[in-house]
Amino acid sequence: MHTVLNHPLVSHRVTLMRDHETPPKLFRELVNEITTFLAYEALKDIRVKQIDVETPVAKTKGLKVDEPRIILVPILRAGMGMLDAMLHVLPYAKVGVLGMQRNEETAEPVPYYAKVPPAKDGEELALVIDPMLATGGSACDAVMQLKKLGYKRIKFLSLISAPEGIAKFEREHPDVPVYTSARDERLNSHFYIVPGLGDAGDRIFGTL
């Protein structure tokens, strides 16, 4: 299952983010803003509990988030560009990281680093973040690593997704929902998303 954000405020920011003339500072700001919208959508079903609260006027009931164990898992390096926004929304979350490098000839992911605490009882909520869901290789591998660590509640958040990547992900992990701000046309012969926005990592970190 995948959800594409369909909102003018999101589309406006995606358009600015695609523009090749958008400088790194603005690009990072747009990534943060869009990530916040993605977080709001992905966390609509977050667990809550009812509590008593007293306002300056009266006593009432309110809802409080009841997810004490949330872990954010950016895929290095581009996923780090989404981390600040996620921590702004979930300041109490833990952070694990998965390092993967794409083989430019085969487009297959090559894992090179993993620092994620194992799940204790499967009740933890893991949010995997990576700006681009292109072939789906890195996303699928990341989720598989989390499942091997005992995580059962997993969601994947991306800025731009290709239909090929979404299809592969849904075949391999039909139980993990995907949230994205744009579903693009296709992959080109170099496995880049079209129209896409180029290399998200290079644009975030200014290493063009």
Name which of 13, 20, 6, 1 is nearest 200 in CA terms. 20
The residue from 84, 106, 175, 207 that is catalytic is 106
The residue from 84, 186, 202, 207 that is catalytic is 202
β-strands 97-102, 2-4 pairing: unpaired
Q: Are 109 and 169 in contact (CB under 8 A)?
A: no
Phi first, then psi: what are they for 88, rounded to 5°? Answer: -65, -40
What's the Cα-to-Cα distance from 16 to each of 19, 29, 95, rounded to whole Å? 5, 11, 29
Catalytic site includes residue 106: yes
Torsion of CA 183, 189, 80, 5, to 10 degrees: 0
What does the alpha-carbon distance between residue 105 and residue 114 come to, in Å, rounded to a whole number?
23
Residues with catalytic function: 102, 106, 199, 202
